Amino acid sequence: MAGLQSSSSEMDLDRPNIEEYLAPDSIQDSPRRLHLRDLLDISPTLTEAAGAIVDDSFTRCFKSNPPEPWNWNIYLFPLWCLGVVVRYGILFPLRVAFLAAGWIVFFAAFFPVHFLLSGHNNWRRKIERKLVEMMCSIFVASWTGVVKYHGPRPSMRPHQVFVANHTSMIDFIILEQMTAFAVIMQKHPGWVGFIQKTILESVGCIWFNRTESKDREVVARKLREHVNGVDNNPLLIFPEGTCVNNHYTVMFKKGAFELGCAVCPIAIKYNKIFVDAFWNSKKQSFTMHLGRLMTSWAVVCDVWYLEPQYLRPGETPIEFAERVRDMISVRAGLKKVPWDGYLKYFRPSPKIIERKQQIFAESILRRLEEI
């Protein structure tokens, strides 16, 4: 009997203390103690929680939807096995050899130009630009890329910036093979970081670390300097700030829309008939992502260069960004969601959690007063 009383007292200690989440002046004396069973009939709160589980539009932006299996019967399965042998045993080795040969040719031409023509900046920039475009074309060919471009090709003009929706790092490669953009990109480790430092800086690319607040000020200053330059390559920005699964668009950062220049939208839409081009950087490295693309039949996508847009009188940069996002979403057939993509990298603030807990506790007390 004493053991049961001890166990009961321990259970009482484990029960949540609601008063901890309420302001002192909001606590009123209750005729009886608060028990968990009294809290279960809180319909609005449960509705909100169930809605968050059922309609989690934020998480769905960063999920890769697996294709429907088609090799489920006895006569389709042999065809699927044959396709696996062709893709992994024939196409993949040929693509790797082609990509390796492309890198050898590229480095054999790039480094002599970069170091021997250091006194002829105009010639050096033009040749390096063409070499970078060539290497990006080799990358696209190694996936058997089928890319259809719509609209006029971007030109080198000052006071303009290009913005596009973001699905993978291959977005930059697909756009770069047509025009040598200077891109704003997150710093990466490994061989990607080596390419960033040694090759892509030659076309004016700007790197940042999203966790460093000082980098934002430096990037903002470099953006303005680059946009005002006459001979600089066109500037490309992915204002979502993260890779989204090409079904949705998340909120655009306003930095590209407060430069006081023309904003040229680019819409990119991938056809998932052969492979899903979405790169989930939390689950796989970029090397693994490229391997998945190179073992598929092909990467198919459409790219639309849309009409340049300007800030309208009385329009804020945030409204300008939303208007451009509308254009890209409509053209590429993507759904808009009101989320900041950076939330993927950060946990909710403790203040937000405490505020939610306080609202929940107050709703519980209101319910108990009705009982």
pLDDT at 286 over 80: yes
Q: Please, which pLDDT band fits residue 2 given cuts at 50, 70 and 90?
A: very low
Range 22-49 average pLDDT: 54
In whole angstroms, give the CA distance from residue 227 to residue 256. Answer: 10
Sequential DSSP letters for 232-287: SPPEEE-TT-S---SSEE-PPPGGGGSSSSEEEEEEEEEETTS------TTTS-HH
Give the residue-averaged pLDDT of 276-292: 89
**310, pLDDT greater than 70:** yes
Specify the long-range contacts of residues 58-62, CB closer than 8 Å, at least 24 apart.
58/337, 58/339, 58/343, 60/245, 60/247, 60/248, 61/244, 61/245, 61/247, 61/248, 61/250, 61/337, 61/339, 61/341, 62/242, 62/243, 62/244, 62/245, 62/280, 62/344
Comparing 157 with 299, the larger pLDDT belongs to 299
SS3 percent helix, strand, coil of the chain, rounded to 5, is 50, 10, 35
> 3-state DSSP call for residue 336?
strand
Q: Which pLDDT band holds residue 25 (cuts at 50, 70, 90)?
A: low
CA dist., res. 115 & res. 101, Å (int): 22
Give the chain's count of helices (H) and strands (E).
Answer: 12, 9
Strand, coil or helix: 148: strand
Distance CA(147)–CA(139), nearest Å, equals 12
What is the chain's mean pLDDT, rounded?
A: 80
- Could you give the C-alpha distances from 325 to 88, 194, 240, 312, 328, in angstroms and in order? 38, 32, 10, 15, 5
pLDDT over 70 at 30, yes or no? no
Residue 64 half-sphere exposure toward CB, CA atoms < 13 A: 18
For residues 118-123, average pLDDT: 75
Mean pLDDT value of segment 341-361: 70
Evaluate if residue 54 carries a pLDDT over 50: no
Model pLDDT, residue 14: 46
Helix (H, G, I), strand (E, B) or coil at 300: strand
Count of CB atoms situated within 10 Å of the CB of 271:
15
Token pair for 344:
């993927």
Residue pair 279/286 in contact by the 8 Å Cβ criterion: yes
Q: Which of 140, 110, 104 is nearest to 202 (CA)?
A: 110
User: Model confidence over 56-96: pLDDT tens digits?
Assistant: 667 788 887 777 777 778 888 888 899 999 999 999 999 99
Check residue 1 and report its DSSP letter.
-
Reply yes or no on whether the pLDDT at 332 is more than 80.
yes
- The pTM (predicted TM-score) of the whole model is 0.75
The total of other beta-carbon atoms located within 10 Å of residue 178's CB is: 16
293 in Cβ contact with 192 (< 8 Å): no
